[in-house]
Amino acid sequence: MKKLASLLLALCLLLSLATFASAEASADLPVLRVAVMPFYISAPTYYIVQNGLDVANGFKIDLQFYPMGAPQIEAMAANEWDVGMMGSAGVFGVANAGMMIVSEVVLSSGGTGAYIRPDSPIAQVKGEIPGMPEVYGNAETMKGATVLVPVGSLNHLNVVKWYYAAGLSVDDFTVVDMSNANSFQAFKAGEGDMTAFSPPLTYQAEGEGWIKGSGLDSLSCDVWDCLYANPRTYEASKELIAKFVDVLLDVQTEFSTNQELASEWGYKWLHDENGMTNTTLQNLMDEWAVRPFRTREDVQNLTVLGNSLKELAIFYGSIGNLDPARVSIFDNPRVVTMEILDMVFGRN
C-alpha cells in the first residue's frame, strides 16, 4: 500500500513538473495579440487557442475581445492588437485608419436574402432579369418600394444590387433605416414592402413564408470578411502574423471540409464562450453550408486581395457613408498587401 502511495505521489510530481515546464515554455514564447469578435468568423482562432496550436507552432495568442467593428478599429489606433478579423466595418478601418488587409477568411455574403411577401407584385415575376433565373421582380414591380434595412449593411447592399440588376437605381426605392431585429418585427407586422437579412435571420424569414427575392449570391456579388493587420505594429509582428495565418489556413481548410467540426466549434465559441444562448448547433450547420471559409488552396491561388472590400467602399461612398476620395486606398499595395501570404507560401 505504501509503495502504491509512493508511486502515485511520484506520478503527481512528474505531472506537476511537466505542467510547470509546459507553462514556463509557453510563457517564453513571443505573443501575438489577435482581435476576435462574437461571430462565426472568429471560431477558427478560438479553435487554435483551445487546442494549443499556437504554442505548438512556437508562438502564443493573446485574444483581444471586441463586440463589433467600430470599437475594434478604435482599439487598433490605441495599439491594442496586432492582427484581427472583421466584417464589412473593415472598409472604414482601411479607408480611414490605414488598417492593412492581409488575407480573406469567410464568405460573409453567403446566405443573404432580400425578402418580399407572397402577395407582393414583385413575387409574381421571376426570371425576367437577364442571367439571373432565381431573382424575382422587374423594374415595373419594384419601383417605389419601401425597404426596411440597416443603412450601409450588406443587406442594404443586397437591395441596391437587386435594383441595379433590374435597371433601376437607389432613387427608385425608399429606405427606412432600422436594425435587423427591428426590421424583422416591423415587416412581420405589415410595415414596408421589402426587407433583407443575413443568416440566421434568413432562416427565420423563410420560416415566416416570405419569398427570397434576391441574395448577393444570386446577384453574383461575393463579399469576403478579411484578416487585418495593425499598421503601427506590422513591421515588428509580421513574422508572427505569418505563423498565425499559416495555422489559421490549416484550420479554415479543415472547417471547410468538416461540417461537424466547424459547427461544434462555432457553437462553443458563440454559445458557450460568448453566451449567445439563442445560437443552436443547427444554426451553425446551416451557416457552414452557405458561408464557407477560405481554404489554403483558395488563398494560395489569390493574386489580389480586397476586391470585394473596394466594391463595398464604392457603395458606402455612393450613399454618403464614406468619402469617395478614400476608395483609392484599396489600390495601395502597402495597405492591401500580399506580403504575409507571400511569406506563408514561400514566394519571397
Task: Calculate mean pLDDT across residues 161-176.
Answer: 96
Asked if pLDDT for residue 197 goes beyond 60, the answer is: yes
Task: State how far the Cα of 257 lies from the Cα of 240, in Å rounded to an integer.
Answer: 26
> Are 104 and 243 contained in the same domain?
yes
> Are 103 and 60 contained in the same domain?
yes
Q: Considering the domain boundaries, does residue 260 fall inside one?
A: yes
Task: Calculate mean pLDDT across residues 316-339.
Answer: 94
Asked if pLDDT for residue 4 goes beyond 60, the answer is: no
345: Cβ–Cβ under 8 A, 6 or more apart, which residues? 300
| Cα separation of the two ends of the chain | 63
Q: Considering the domain boundaries, does residue 5 fall inside one?
A: no
Q: Considering the domain boundaries, does residue 10 fall inside one?
A: no
Return the CATH number at 300: 3.40.190.10
Task: State how far the Cα of 309 lies from the Cα of 299, in Å rounded to an integer.
Answer: 16
Task: State how far the Cα of 348 lies from the Cα of 341, in Å rounded to an integer.
Answer: 10
Asked if pLDDT for residue 5 goes beyond 90, the answer is: no
Are residues 201 and 184 in contact, defined by beta-carbon separation less than 8 angstroms? yes
pLDDT score recorded for residue 199 = 87
Helix extents (H) in 78-126: 90-97
Q: Considering the domain boundaries, does residue 178 fall inside one?
A: yes
Q: What is the average pLDDT score of the chain?
A: 92
Number of domains composing the chain: 2
Q: Considering the domain boundaries, does residue 18 fall inside one?
A: no
Last residue of a domain, one of 197, 214, 231: 214
Q: Considering the domain boundaries, does residue 16 fall inside one?
A: no
Asked if pLDDT for residue 84 goes beyond 70, the answer is: yes
Of residues 250, 225, 226, 292, the one with CA closest to residue 54: 250
> Are 327 and 252 contained in the same domain?
yes
Last residue of a domain, one of 161, 189, 214: 214
Specify the 3-state DSSP secondary structure of 145.
Answer: strand
CA dihedral 36, 38, 41, 45 (to 10 degrees): 50
Task: Pick 207 or 16 by higher pLDDT.
Answer: 207
> Are 134 and 33 contained in the same domain?
no
Asked if pLDDT for residue 3 goes beyond 80, the answer is: no
Q: Considering the domain boundaries, does residue 83 fall inside one?
A: yes
Helix extents (H) in the chain: 2-27, 43-50, 53-56, 69-77, 90-97, 139-142, 154-165, 180-188, 201-207, 234-257, 259-267, 281-290, 296-300, 307-318, 339-344
The 3-state secondary structure of 207-276, one letter per residue: HCCCEEEECCCCCCCCCEEEEEECCCCHHHHHHHHHHHHHHHHHHHHHHHHCHHHHHHHHHHHHHHHCCC
> Are 103 and 233 contained in the same domain?
yes
Q: What is the pLDDT of residues 6-40, one digit of tens each?
A: 544 454 445 444 444 444 556 799 999 999 999 99
> Are 121 and 97 contained in the same domain?
no
Task: Pick 56 or 26 by higher pLDDT.
Answer: 56
Task: Calculate mean pLDDT across residues 312-325.
Answer: 93
Q: In this structure, what DSSP letter does residue 65 have?
A: E
Predicted structure pTM score: 0.85
Q: Considering the domain boundaries, does residue 7 fall inside one?
A: no
Last residue of a domain, one of 156, 188, 214: 214
Dihedral sign, CA of 28, 34, 36, 40? negative
> Are 77 and 142 contained in the same domain?
no
> Are 201 and 339 contained in the same domain?
no
Task: Pick 3 or 125 by higher pLDDT.
Answer: 125
Are residues 104 and 337 in contact, defined by beta-carbon separation less than 8 angstroms? no
pLDDT score recorded for residue 278 = 83
Q: Which grid coordinates belong to 223?
A: 463579399
Q: Which structural domain, as residue segments, surrounds residue 148?
A: 113-214
